[in-house]
Structure 1
């Protein structure tokens, strides 16, 4: 079978690497002729909404998926008229709008931070009055890794951020003093079967994910059960097929929904070595109607992103239990160019080696 992937970044690259042992072939569509997934599969360089590029991309494919949520919904909808597209374009449409995704999850009974739509200065001022300060002002569409948003601590800061973010199409969110950030990766197959990975603890700096710990340290069965329930509701409501990631805030023993990603996710990279079946393989299994693989963890894992740095490969590989993934991208500040996963049999052993892992990833400041 030949699968098409909208997007040619590292997630598409890792999907292809997981699919080759299953006998699959891959084609990518990406605006950049230098997209790193082109190193491991056929690449069609063209705009997502270019009719000719879409036609060349779709020719001979059995189905299509996507590797990031900012693919134009129209491109997925056009392709869905010709062949199966998973996850369903409806999931893509909801995930591209921070207001729509929070409203969607609230409709399922999933709690979220308080929020308000902001299209005018008057709505901003009303929102600040209702939600208080500090607050987060975000663009509803686009933006990732901390882009397109601002933490505001005063009315003056809020109004400056309002202007900088374009003055419309925004969402104001109440600030949540959360204990930690978690993510739930779930997968649903063609026949409705579901599987869930253990909750992952994520640590960010500068809006970019730096470190994931899996399973999340101190994870209670109650928290895991709650996250599974949230994910199950979303999967079923959307008629979802593939991997879905939910980003969550833990506040005591409660979980608040933050954002969703209708695709394989950075916080699931640990599953390549740290779970019985990786998120990438399970995504493909789901799309193809194959039995889902076990999501059970193999011990304890830490995944450190390589952000704008190239480590000493020999030093990384000299660390027992460490696995290096280099994406074949040019190194530049703020860019994810690879990751290192470290696996141990016990949490205590993993915690002991975390400083070494962070040093190798050149994440020398506390994460």
Structure 2
């Protein structure tokens, strides 16, 4: 895919992508042509736009053999964090929007998510199992501070004693530490905090609107202090750029209170690959060819390998060496604790006003 040129009329501030390539379902692509007039156009700062969606259902199901959950909830579409490598970018193509700048500037919120969630888990015959959050876009991206949709979902699950898991890099999770700690006391929640680098400058380039690495370590510390099981997710590991930091990230997270660790090599599905290549050429031109050669060495000579089982691990000597380093560091640092088993036995509708109290 050839990316279109940047729109010179837009001022970009803290954005990961630089342009708007058309999604894979679009029959046409836009191109900019000079109209022959040398009249300067007015420039404007590109701002985030939020659309509210009245969703009809909220629990998404999957049967993927390499994913450890069968259901998830995503309160938002798109993510303002703007992480250039985000595997969720291609999902914006289903909306007729670009996985580039549109993914991080044209967001959709689902304010009725808590209401739908209560209705769906309350249906007759519902079989309880942990619901995963943060599996596509981050439920604690900046928009959550104003919308509070994620907090509403947690309150519903807490009231129903329903287990949940959470992956985030958003600092707004600190607002909900007490609520998550209360659920953890009932063995209803486990969390993961994603840290890709301890280098604040690199983080600002790769993840321009996500919290700084030091803030994410504070998130781990606060969650652990509240009794919430927290795993550090060293993902994605990118050859040349951040993979040399993996052990230091794990040690810093362990010192902050993480009980476990996981790792995934970078994967570049669909529209993510050309966006990532463009980002490399803009920010690390001297390393771009080396980075891509090392990625392809883990992906069978391609930018991406979408096969189940291989997509999360990579293969070949490069991938195996990375996984071996990770396993050794995880064992040395005591981050090899198994994921906590969440309690499903407490699940049930919350008491209503006037209900008779149970004697047992």
- Larger Cα-atom Rg: 2
TM-score, with normalisation over the residues of structure 2? 0.29
Higher RCO, 1 vs 2 (CA within 8 Å, ≥6 residues apart): 2
TM-score, with normalisation over the residues of structure 1? 0.29
